[in-house]
Structure 1
Amino acid sequence: MFDRLKGLSPHLALGAGALALSSLLAGCGGGASDDDSVRVGVIAGPESELMEVAQRIAKERFDLDVQIVEFTDYVSPNAALADGSIDANAYQHAPYLQAMNQDRGYDLVSAGNTFLYPIGAYSRRHDSIEALPEGATIALPNDPSNQARALLMLDHAGLISLVDDQNPESTLDDISDNPHGLQFREVDAAQLPRSLDDVDLAFINNTFAQPAGLTPEDALLREGTDSPYVNLIVVRNGDQELPKIRHLVEAFQTEEVASRAEALFQGGAIPGWQ
Structure 2
Amino acid sequence: MKKFKLVTVAAAAALVTTACGTDGDAPEETEGAENGEAVEESEEDESDEDDEAADEEEIVIGASSTPHAEILEYAEEALEEEGISLEIETFNDYVLPNEALDSGELDANYFQHVPYFESQIEDHGYDFDHVGGIHIEPIAVYSQDYDSLDELPEGAEILMSDSVADHGRVLSMLEDEGLIELEDGAGIDATTDDIVENERDLEFRADVEAGLLPQAYRSNEAEAVLINSNYAIDHDLNPAEDGIAMESADLDNPYANIIAVQSEDAEDEKYHTLVEVLRSEDVQEFILDEFDEAVVPVGEDQ
Shift of 1:35: 6.8
* Residue of structure 2 in register with 1:26 after alignment: none
Measure the CA separation in 2 of the matches of 1:173 and 1:87: 38
Measure the CA separation in 1 of the matches of 2:224 and 2:297: 27
Measure the CA separation in 2 of the matches of 1:198 and 1:183: 13
- Is the Cα–Cα contact under 8 Å of residues 152 and 165 in structure 1 kept in the other structure? no
Measure the CA separation in 1 of the matches of 2:214 and 2:133: 26
SS at match of 1:245: helix
SS at match of 1:154: helix
Measure the CA separation in 2 of the matches of 1:173 and 1:41: 35
Point out which structure has higher relative CO (alpha carbons under 8 A, 6+ apart).
1
2:285 corresponds to which letter in structure 1? S
* Residue of structure 2 in register with 1:36 after alignment: 57
- Is the Cα–Cα contact under 8 Å of residues 130 and 266 in structure 2 kept in the other structure? yes
Measure the CA separation in 1 of the matches of 2:58 and 2:175: 45
Select the residue among 98, 108, 111 that pairs with 2:118: 98
* Residue of structure 2 in register with 1:200 after alignment: 223
* Residue of structure 2 in register with 1:239 after alignment: 265
- Is the Cα–Cα contact under 8 Å of residues 108 and 237 in structure 1 kept in the other structure? yes
Select the residue among 224, 243, 246 that pairs with 1:219: 243
2:182 corresponds to which letter in structure 1? L
SS at match of 1:168: helix
Q: Encode CA deviations 1:153-173: one digit per residue, 9 max, x unaligned.
A: 122223223224552111223
* Residue of structure 2 in register with 1:15 after alignment: none
Normalised TM-score (structure 2) = 0.74
Q: Which moved more, 1:126-135 or 1:157-166?
A: 157-166
Measure the CA separation in 2 of the matches of 1:58 and 1:166: 41
Measure the CA separation in 2 of the matches of 1:35 and 1:247: 13
Identity across aligned pairs (percent)?
35
Unaligned runs of 5+ in 1: 1-33
Measure the CA separation in 1 of the matches of 2:89 and 2:116: 20
- Is the Cα–Cα contact under 8 Å of residues 122 and 203 in structure 1 kept in the other structure? yes
Shift of 1:252: 1.6
- Is the Cα–Cα contact under 8 Å of residues 140 and 226 in structure 2 kept in the other structure? yes
Normalised TM-score (structure 1) = 0.81
Q: Which moved more, 1:73-82 or 1:176-185?
A: 176-185
- Is the Cα–Cα contact under 8 Å of residues 171 and 191 in structure 2 kept in the other structure? yes
Q: Quick check: 1:144 aligned with 2:164?
A: yes
Counterpart mapping for 1:117-132 below 5 A: 117-132=137-152
* Residue of structure 2 in register with 1:266 after alignment: 292
Q: Encode CA deviations 1:83-105: one digit per residue, 9 max, x unaligned.
A: 21101111112111111111111
Please identify the structure whose Cα radius of gyration is greater: 2
Q: Which has the higher helix share?
A: 2
* Residue of structure 2 in register with 1:161 after alignment: 181
Q: Which moved more, 1:247-256 or 1:138-147?
A: 247-256
* Residue of structure 1 in register with 2:276 after alignment: 250
Measure the CA separation in 1 of the matches of 2:100 and 2:82: 25
Give the aligned CA root-mean-square deviation in angstroms: 1.8
